[in-house]
A and B are shown apart, each in its own frame.
Chain A
Amino acid sequence: MEQMNLADQRGSQVSISPGSRALMVAGAVIWLALFVFGLHGLYDRLAFGSLKTAMDSYIPWGLWVSSYIWFIGLSAGSFLLSTLVYVFKLKQLEKVAPLALVVALITLIMALLSIWFDLGHMGRFYRVYLHPNFRSAMAWMVWLYTAYFVLLIFETYFALRASLVRGRSLPGLAGGISRLLTGGRQQALSEEEVRRDRRKVTILATVGIPLAIAFHGGVGALFATVVARDVWHTAIYPIIFLVGAFLSGGALFTGLIAFFWPKRDDYWRATVRLLGRVTLGLLLLEALLTWAELSVPMWYGVGPEYEELKYMLFGPYGWVFWVVQLGLCTLVPLILLVSGGKSPRATGWAGILIAVTFLSTRLNLVLPGLVTPELAGLQFSYHDGRLIYNYLPSWPEWQLLAFVISVGIALFVFAVKMLPTLTGRDVA
């Protein structure tokens, strides 16, 4: 059986249609362009620090913090999706669950890179570990996602160990990596060892649920606990962060399975349909919370939150809400999921659209709290390019984000290539 699977893997690697090859080449070119574009941003960040960003002392958080919460949400969402299998024993998603774990790990790395680049003194990040101030929501967040990172590595390892051992005889780098990760083990895992690994995965996934909720709810709390910012300082923030994580993570995974799962069989169709339904439910819940977040403080048209949210909706960047967040991230996916519910392609597009445009939702959570002066007249008190209430990310900021995304894509492709089991290719 093992030999057959390996033969199947080799076979699947060579049987690529000309259309798929053209798509792969196009994908590689786009990735390369993204990477080169991003490298320039990386150079700017390392050589000039924060100098080339468009942030200022009144809007001190911008694109990088927003992308950080975007990526960390994707990670928490993918992870929680995997727990449907590893904790709640949902059979339908069993084959795709390891991929969800790997996606959670990769997006976590992307999140950590984004927030690391945002630090003024990148070399001092270790101080959060050596000199933490546990009254700070940020210190808690760092410690919790470090614990989550460690847990995720172990859980992914135990979830994949059996297939890694099977993959030791694969040719080239894939076999080398499998041998390296399994310590050169020659024999296949015994049934007892497989059972033990599953138990470990179940325990880790169970511990991971409160951990993922805590660290992502914690990211929301990081904002919500700031009394000085009226829009942030609401109890709905941690909840909306969590639901956003479930939605964006679930949507990304739906898109990945719809487009990158190699076998287009009944299992694939049923899985995409199930994931599409989950995404639809979460999309509606997210829309409800967004309505609550906006309507409650704005209903009577008075108060500081009203001014800030009005700026978000009708200010110069109102299109981010109306076109991107409401249109591309909510209504279009809603139509695709409802009318094309049985079409894996429509479901996949809905997932990809939500996952990609979810950055707009994150921007609209971070920036409204910063766009109005905390004291009337502050905007006229001192004229300086870094003391203004206007923010549009600079090119170097977009470039660095492109770098982080290109790293994530590279890690994903590498993982899928090196670990065939992730796309169900050696599952008997």
Chain B
Amino acid sequence: MSKNDLLKENGEKTESRRGTLAKGLALGLGLLTLDAWTGKAAQAASGGGQVSKDSEIPTLPPPVDPWQEDVTLVMRQDLKRALSKPVDKRHWGMVIDLQRCIGCQGCTISCINENKLPPGVVYRPVLEETSGTFPNVSKHFLPRPCMQCDNPPCVPVCPVGATYKRPDGIVAIDYNACIGCRYCITACPYSARTFDWGEFYGDIVLSGPLPYEEVPSLEYGKVWVREAGKSPIENTRKCTFCLERVERGLLPACTDTCFGRATYFGDLNDPEALVNRVRQNRQVNQLKSELGTHPSVYYLL
């Protein structure tokens, strides 16, 4: 194919795109007109009078347009606002846009990096499912952090009360109280709890931890060095939405590193927060909500 042919083809494509854009704009204007018309019609139907202030429906903040706003900056502002409130007035939550998730597993890796997770422990795997048969095949991805349930089945089963629900909605584990019975792992309907068996990646090639495995984890704002017989080894471990970062004004590692901007994090109690705005006009789902666990993680379909 010559250069001219290529240019010609590109020109046709551009034309074609322009055509599509024009059609889209026309349709959009048409819808706007229709909207304006229906609005007027509704007003006319109600008698055309003024709506009293008392019965006025509060105006919702505009839905977010990720192409216009830098969602990371917006979420950081949300975080700042939430942290200025007392801890029991905020409720951390997460929204994951499944249409934007490309299954890169960047969130899984950044989580491992942030929390210095050993073999056998994973806080945010990305579930993969292939459906259909060739050539009609599609692949679906579903990142699965801890659901931070408001009615968490893992909390009441703990025989020593080592796992508990914080006032800000996070389900936490007191590593130094956990006896390692693993009952909570069986009780979680999302398999969001894993056990620290005491393994190191270095065990595979050497006979001990690699230098990077000796870097402490800072979970719950404390310094945790993994040593045999000491917590968090022989403890159940789980995602905390990177509480140690969040309380210092940083977004969870998975949210910060999601380059598809599929993960939103913030205060569910704040109507202005992005986690609430992105759910407008979208189909929202929660995992196994029929169990009555009331997860704090929402999925946009």
- Give the interface of A toward B (CB within 8 A): 48-51, 53, 55-58, 60-61, 118-121, 124-125, 127-128, 131-133, 135-139, 142, 222, 225-229, 369-370, 373-378, 380-382, 384-387
Instruction: Find out whether the CB atom of B186 lies under 8 angstroms from the CB atom of A228.
Output: yes
Contacts of A131 in B (CB 8 A): 160-161, 177
- Expressed in whole angstroms, the Cα–Cα distance for A142 and B162 within the complex equals 16
Closest to B198 in A: A51
| Residues A120 and B179 in contact in the complex (CB < 8 Å), given A49-B198, A49-B229, A133-B158 | yes
Interface status of B213 (Cβ within 8 A of chain A): no
Indicate the member of B127, B181, B189, B195 with the most A CB atoms within 10 Å. B181
Instruction: Find out whether the CB atom of B179 lies under 8 angstroms from the CB atom of A119.
Output: yes
Contacts of B229 in A (CB 8 A): 49
Interface status of B126 (Cβ within 8 A of chain A): yes
Contact for A49 among B120, B129, B228, CB less than 8 A: B228
Instruction: Find out whether the CB atom of B157 lies under 8 angstroms from the CB atom of A138.
Output: yes
Instruction: Find out whether the CB atom of A132 lies under 8 angstroms from the CB atom of B198.
Output: no
Interface status of B272 (Cβ within 8 A of chain A): no
Interface status of B190 (Cβ within 8 A of chain A): yes
Closest to B120 in A: A386
Min CB gap B151→A, angstroms: 11
Min CB gap B295→A, angstroms: 12
Closest to B230 in A: A121
Contacts of A121 in B (CB 8 A): 178-180, 231, 234-235
| Residues A60 and B178 in contact in the complex (CB < 8 Å), given A49-B228, A49-B234, A381-B127 | no
Chain A contact residues: over half helix, strand or loop, or mixed? loop
Chain B, range 144-175, C-beta contacts under 8 Å to A? 144, 153, 156-162
Q: A121-B180, A377-B127, A387-B122 are in contact. List 17 more A-B contacts (CB 8 A).
A: A48-B198, A49-B234, A50-B195, A56-B197, A60-B195, A124-B160, A128-B160, A128-B179, A131-B161, A136-B156, A137-B157, A228-B187, A370-B186, A375-B142, A377-B129, A382-B125, A385-B119
Instruction: Find out whether the CB atom of B159 lies under 8 angstroms from the CB atom of A128.
Output: yes
| Residues A58 and B234 in contact in the complex (CB < 8 Å), given A50-B197, A119-B181, A378-B125 | no
Contacts of B194 in A (CB 8 A): 57, 386-387
Q: Which 4 A-B pairs have the closest CB atoms?
A: A120-B180, A386-B120, A120-B234, A57-B194
Instruction: Find out whether the CB atom of B235 lies under 8 angstroms from the CB atom of A385.
Output: no
| Residues A60 and B186 in contact in the complex (CB < 8 Å), given A127-B177, A381-B126 | yes
Instruction: Find out whether the CB atom of B120 lies under 8 angstroms from the CB atom of A132.
Output: no
Closest to A123 in B: B229
Instruction: Find out whether the CB atom of B157 lies under 8 angstroms from the CB atom of A136.
Output: yes
| Residues A227 and B156 in contact in the complex (CB < 8 Å), given A136-B183, A386-B197, A387-B194 | no
Contact for B181 among A138, A380, A386, CB less than 8 A: A138
Contacts of B195 in A (CB 8 A): 50, 55-57, 60, 120, 386
Closest to A370 in B: B186
Min CB gap A140→B, angstroms: 9
Contact for A228 among B120, B161, B189, CB less than 8 A: B189
Instruction: Find out whether the CB atom of B157 lies under 8 angstroms from the CB atom of A120.
Output: no
18 interchain pairs, CB-CB under 8 A: A57-B121, A57-B191, A57-B194, A60-B182, A120-B182, A127-B162, A128-B179, A131-B161, A131-B177, A136-B159, A136-B183, A138-B183, A226-B157, A374-B191, A375-B142, A377-B129, A381-B126, A385-B119
Contact for B186 among A132, A135, A226, A377, CB less than 8 A: A226
Closest to A60 in B: B182
- Expressed in whole angstroms, the Cα–Cα distance for A144 and B40 within the complex equals 71
- Expressed in whole angstroms, the Cα–Cα distance for A381 and B139 within the complex equals 13
Instruction: Find out whether the CB atom of A227 lies under 8 angstroms from the CB atom of B189.
Output: yes
Q: How many A-B residue pairs have CB under 8 A?
A: 162
Interface status of B83 (Cβ within 8 A of chain A): no
Contacts of B126 in A (CB 8 A): 381
- Expressed in whole angstroms, the Cα–Cα distance for A51 and B195 within the complex equals 11
Min CB gap B253→A, angstroms: 16
- Expressed in whole angstroms, the Cα–Cα distance for A199 and B119 within the complex equals 58
Interface status of B250 (Cβ within 8 A of chain A): no
Instruction: Find out whether the CB atom of B122 lies under 8 angstroms from the CB atom of A384.
Output: yes
Indicate the member of B129, B190, B194, B197 with the most A CB atoms within 10 Å. B197
- Expressed in whole angstroms, the Cα–Cα distance for A142 and B194 within the complex equals 24
- Expressed in whole angstroms, the Cα–Cα distance for A245 and B194 within the complex equals 31
- Expressed in whole angstroms, the Cα–Cα distance for A125 and B178 within the complex equals 10
- Expressed in whole angstroms, the Cα–Cα distance for A53 and B197 within the complex equals 9
Contacts of B291 in A (CB 8 A): 227-228
Closest to B231 in A: A121
Min CB gap A94→B, angstroms: 39
| Residues A381 and B128 in contact in the complex (CB < 8 Å), given A58-B191, A138-B181, A227-B291 | yes
Contact for A374 among B181, B190, B228, B233, CB less than 8 A: B190
- Expressed in whole angstroms, the Cα–Cα distance for A131 and B163 within the complex equals 12
Instruction: Find out whether the CB atom of B159 lies under 8 angstroms from the CB atom of A139.
Output: yes
Instruction: Find out whether the CB atom of B186 lies under 8 angstroms from the CB atom of A229.
Output: yes
Contacts of B235 in A (CB 8 A): 120-121
Contacts of A373 in B (CB 8 A): 191
Interface status of B114 (Cβ within 8 A of chain A): no
Contacts of A375 in B (CB 8 A): 127, 142, 144, 190-191, 287
Contacts of B234 in A (CB 8 A): 49-50, 120-121
| Residues A385 and B153 in contact in the complex (CB < 8 Å), given A121-B234, A226-B187, A374-B189 | no
The interface bits of chain B over 102-133 (1 if a CB of A lies within 8 angstroms of the residue's CB, else 0) are 00000010000000000111100111110000
Instruction: Find out whether the CB atom of A119 lies under 8 angstroms from the CB atom of B180.
Output: yes
Interface status of B82 (Cβ within 8 A of chain A): no
Instruction: Find out whether the CB atom of A133 lies under 8 angstroms from the CB atom of B125.
Output: no
| Residues A384 and B287 in contact in the complex (CB < 8 Å), given A57-B185, A136-B157, A139-B160 | no
Closest to A136 in B: B159
Interface status of B247 (Cβ within 8 A of chain A): no
Closest to B196 in A: A120
Contacts of A135 in B (CB 8 A): 156
Contacts of A378 in B (CB 8 A): 125, 127, 144, 191
Contacts of B186 in A (CB 8 A): 60-61, 226, 228-229, 369-370
